Amino acid sequence: MGKITVTNFTISLDGFGAGANQTMKEPLGIGGEELHTWMFPTKRFRAMGGKNDGTEGIDNDFVEKAFENVGAWIMGRNMFGPIRGNWPDDKWKGWWGENPPYHVPVFVLTHYERKPVTMKGGTTFHFITTGIKPALEEARKAANGKEIRIGGGVSTIRQLLQAGYIDEMHLAISPLFLGSGEHLFSGIDMPALGFNRIRRVEGEQATHIVLTKN
């Protein structure tokens, strides 16, 4: 059975994974987009936008690894889009255009039913209204032994952490303070959950921390 992992999830120096007041204009909240400036110039990230340039090195290696041996993704509804409440129609299909970077089934946690959305490149968004355990069961079937990636946001990762489902986490620590927003670890005892192995790697623009269970 493949591992359940978090990769390339960026937090600020004060532990926030998203800023306050998320809107269509600022989907990651105030200051949230600045968290990811370490990733934007990398060759792998630029390739997702159809570019043939970009930086190589440690930061790029971590972005590349996030898409290796992946059979399915799980994400929260807030990561999929800014719409709240009932889906008004089927027009919104994510932030990523017609060919999202996932290329495998993606299971979106939501309270509101919606039919699957099939995109170019092998990505299909499935909307799960029954919680994280059924989402994981569906993801495991789809992954067929490969790893399951947890794409975020903060609330989704926290739920899966507290339930004991996550095996490994890669955090990119961006050298800035947000001051407020969604805090990743508030109230969570990581050693009690078994995350006692810590590896640190200095990238070009971020510090990478890999947390694994004993």
| pLDDT (0 to 100) of residue 1 | 72
Cβ neighbours for 53, distance < 8 A, ≥ 6 positions apart: 43, 46
Measured N-to-C along each axis, helices 132-143 and 154-162 cross at an angle, to the nearest 10 degrees, of: 90
Residue with tokens 């990561």: 79
Burial 159-186 (b: 16+ CB within 10 A, else e): bbbeeeebbbbbbbbbeeebeebbbbee
| pLDDT (0 to 100) of residue 152 | 87
Instruction: Give the Cβ contact number of residue 31 at 10 Å.
Output: 20
d(CA 35, CA 17): 8
Overall domain count for the chain = 1
Domain of 208, CATH number, reads 3.40.430.10
| pLDDT (0 to 100) of residue 29 | 87
Query: Element (H or E) spanning 162, and its range?
Result: helix 154-162
d(CA 103, CA 140): 16
DSSP string, 18-42: E-SS--SS-TT-TTGGGGGGGTTTB
| pLDDT (0 to 100) of residue 26 | 84
pLDDT by residue, tens only, the chain of 214 residues: 789 999 999 999 999 999 988 777 888 888 999 999 999 999 999 998 889 999 999 999 999 999 999 999 999 998 998 888 999 999 999 989 999 999 999 999 999 999 999 999 999 999 999 999 999 999 999 999 999 999 989 999 999 999 999 999 999 999 999 999 999 999 999 999 999 999 999 999 999 999 999 7
Residue pair 3/147 in contact (Cβ under 8 Å)? The answer is yes
**Structural domain range at position 108:** 4-19+26-85+94-212
| pLDDT (0 to 100) of residue 28 | 85
d(CA 137, CA 141): 6
